[in-house]
Amino acid sequence: MQTSATQTRIFSVAPEDAGERLDRFLSDRIDLLSRARVKSLIKQGHVSRGGARWPEPATRVKPGETYSLKIPPAEPAIPRPQAIELDVVYEDEALIVINKPPNLVVHPAAGNWSGTLVNALLHHCGDTLSGIGGVRRPGIVHRLDKDTSGLMVVAKTDQAHQGLAAQFADHGREGPLERAYLAFIWGAPMRRSGKIDAALDRHKTNRLKRAVVRVGGKHAVTKYRILEIYNDADDMQLAALAHCELETGRTHQIRVHMAHLGHPLLGDALYGSGFASRASRLHGRAQAALAKLNRQALHAYLLGFAHPVTGKAMRFESHLPKKLARLQEVLRAGYED
């Protein structure tokens, strides 16, 4: 939440809220502040009850109580250039296409103010990138989750930023944008191809997650096609490789949609925790490969768009990174000696 002045919000405790922790009670009522941020504000003395500061986040609220929360103006951090190696696939004066490795956050945010893709881009591109599209997200027109690998395009000029942003806003429905992912999933859908049209919203109890909702939420559509199926020792379908295309670009979209279909991604601790026992049905080499992967098995392998300056059709493909390629290799080999 960014503001130019301190905001004061007043919250009254209703009977049905009795017994909630103060930090949860407040964070559940302010969408743009995380519970961790609210907890920090409480400890810093920004919350009061009855005119007196109340610095205890674990306080259990009671009906009839009124709490006042002061939200100080945000102080946006200005990213600094950092010499972080980039896998550059293509670059010209207007844009740069990179192959993002896993475990790299795209732009600075709470908990990751440095060591991000933006820090690396500022070092690589120099002053040409500064300010394009905002101070904390210069040049960024789309993103990948921290642990998702694959292709990204970044704008280096205002003209390129505007042109690319328009294409990503359209999501390829009428324009030239093309994005496709390779996802290794548990099991295999009965329908080998299909479209998942299910709105997404923040999870009711876990702020880190998104969930499919029937009412409200944001429109989200994922198309999938099964490319390979991997059987277990009993010749039962244990896992599969899916080609996924986005018609919208929501947070965690593929991960949530495939889990909603009943086939979460291998290695996805957030959305596939209920499938952890499936790993025991993998043969030894596959178990080892999945353990070494240590992330969701998702790779953005295809990216196509019209060059925002020349109009030329640009299309790039990225091979599976080493650990994912090894996982595919041993899954294909199955239980052969």
Active site residues: 145
Residue that is written with structure tokens 């080609």 in the block: 243
Measured in whole angstroms, the distance separating CA 300 from the mean position of its chain's CA atoms is 12
Q: Which residues fall within 8 angstroms of residue 222, CB to CB, at 6 or more apart?
A: 195, 196, 244, 245, 246, 247, 248, 253, 254, 257, 258
Integer Cα distance of 122 and 272 in angstroms: 35
Half-sphere exposure for 175 (CA within 13 Å, toward CB)? 21
Integer Cα distance of 109 and 208 in angstroms: 14
Integer Cα distance of 59 and 330 in angstroms: 52
Q: Which residues fall within 8 angstroms of residue 337, CB to CB, at 6 or more apart?
A: none
Backbone phi and psi for residue 15, each to the nearest 5 degrees, phi listed first: -55, -40
Integer Cα distance of 211 and 90 in angstroms: 35
Q: Please, what's the b/e burial string for 70-92 (b: 16 or more CB within 10 A of its CB; e: otherwise)?
A: ebeeeeeeebebeebebeebeee
Helices 322-333 and 284-293 sit at what angle, rounded to 10 degrees? 160
Identify which of 166, 261, 172, 283 has the alpha carbon closest to the alpha carbon of residue 212.
261
The torsion of the CA quartet 101, 188, 225, 246, rounded to 10 degrees, works out to -50
Element (H, E) at 260: helix 253-260
